[in-house]
Amino acid sequence: MRIAQLQMPVYPDKEKNLKQLEDAVRNLCAESGGNKPDLIAAGEMFSCPYETDKFPEYAEPAGGPTWKRLSALAEENGVYLSPGTIPEVDEERRVYNTAFVFDREGHQIARHRKMHLFDIDVQGGQSFRESDTLTAGSDVTVFDTEFGRGGICVCFDFRFPELARLMVLEGAKFILVPAAFNQTTGPAHWDLMFRSRAVDNQCWTIGTSPSMNPEASYHAWGHSMIVSPWGEVVSEMDEIPEYRVIDIDLSETERVRAQLPLLSARREDVYTLKKVK
């Protein structure tokens, strides 16, 4: 599977952010010479500044104008599109940090509402409270492609190993993580987290971040990366705007699991992990 990661800045202008994504996807597919990506991924809150008071202001419903443009973009270019996240508002005016995935025909095949809200206060570092304006989701989200099953979660979700394991138990061979770690948590835990989840679950982990925008109030860490089921970092960017196209072999998950049978050797007679219905 050929994956393109778009590490882009986020501006206060929603239309500018949408146009930037559309142009990047179209140019990437046009320049590929018939060897275009199968899946294109972007970062968390790609259309909205990462500020709690902005989330309700920028929020749209599923099926709204932004959703329709993303669906059309996937169909137009014949790619799977994981455009990161947008603030999504429901019928009761609750706002979520939501990741959609669209298939090659523009159909929505996944919607994940961030379930672990980023409420932190790091001494001498970052302080942030998503719960001031966001509502938590509650779904474990997987989706199917012709290459195999994928999972998706959002940023802070990936710190919780139970969620990654549940996606893998439901068949995920790769996990997409639109994220926006900051200048405090990024240097400390970004690489460590993606390598740990890959090794623990023997799957591909794919983290895509916005680039660092020095003019924004929230400085994303960037460093979008892809890690193999063996824990090898096969691609990692810096903090600047960039895109990369990487080929991954999803059969690597089965080879690694056969050589080091972590998943099959679990002691379910002693411990279990179950999704609440």
Which of 29, 48, 153, 155 does the annotation list as catalytic? 155
The span from the CA of 43 to the CA of 264, in Å, is: 33
Residue written as token pair 């930037």: 20
Q: Which of 14, 44, 48, 173 is catalytic?
A: 44
29 is catalytic: no
Q: For residue 220, report the phi and psi dihedrals to the nearest 5 degrees.
A: -70, 150
Q: Which residue has the tokens 């597919």?
A: 29
Neighbours of 266 (CB within 10 A): 14
Catalytic residue among 114, 130, 203, 252: 114
**Cα 151 to chain centroid, rounded:** 9
- Please, are residues 134 and 114 in contact by the beta-carbon 8 Å criterion? yes
The rounded Cα 134 to chain-centroid distance in angstroms is 18
For residue 86, the SS3 value is strand
- Has 155 been annotated as catalytic? yes
DSSP 210: P
Positive or negative, the Cα torsion across 118, 123, 125, 127?
A: positive
Q: Catalogue the active-site residues.
A: 44, 114, 155
